Amino acid sequence: MMLVMTSTIMAMIIAMAMMLLCGMVHKSSIQDREKMSPFECGFNPKKSARIPFSIQFFLLAVLFLIFDIEIAIILPVIITMKSSMTSKWILTVTLFITLLILGLYHEWKNGMLEWTT
C-alpha cells in the first residue's frame, strides 16, 4: 500500500513540475488578425475558410462506418462454422443479424437515413 501511495505522489509531483516548467519556458505568441487568417498563395481569401458542415452527412458517414465494422465482424463467423456446433452457430448468427436489422430499423424510423429534411 505504501508503494502505491509513493508512486502516486511521485507521479503527481513529476506532472506538476512538468506543467510549471512548460509554463515558464513557453514562448508567448501574439495572435493578431493577419496571423489568424488563412493564407492562399499571397492573396486574401475569397471566402471563409470555415465552411458549415452538414450534420446529416456526418451521421450518414458514421452509420456507414458502423455497418462497415459490423461486416468485418461477420466475416470470421463464416470461418468458425466448421469448428463450432451448428445449433449454437446458427443461434449466434441469427441473434447478431437480428440486432443489425433492428438497429437499421430504429435508425430508419428516427429519420437518420434521410438525406434532406
Angle at the Cα of 86 (from 79 to 98), degrees rounded to 5?
80
pLDDT tens sequence across 51-99: 777 777 887 888 888 888 888 888 888 888 778 888 888 888 899 889 8
Residue range of the domain that includes 96:
83-112
Q: How many residues does the chain have?
A: 117
Please give the tally of structural domains in the chain.
1
Mean pLDDT of 17-42: 69
Does the residue 35 lie in any domain? no
Does the residue 41 lie in any domain? no
- Amino acid 108: pLDDT: 86
d(CA 83, CA 89): 10
Confidence grade of residue 8 (pLDDT, cut at 50, 70, 90): very high
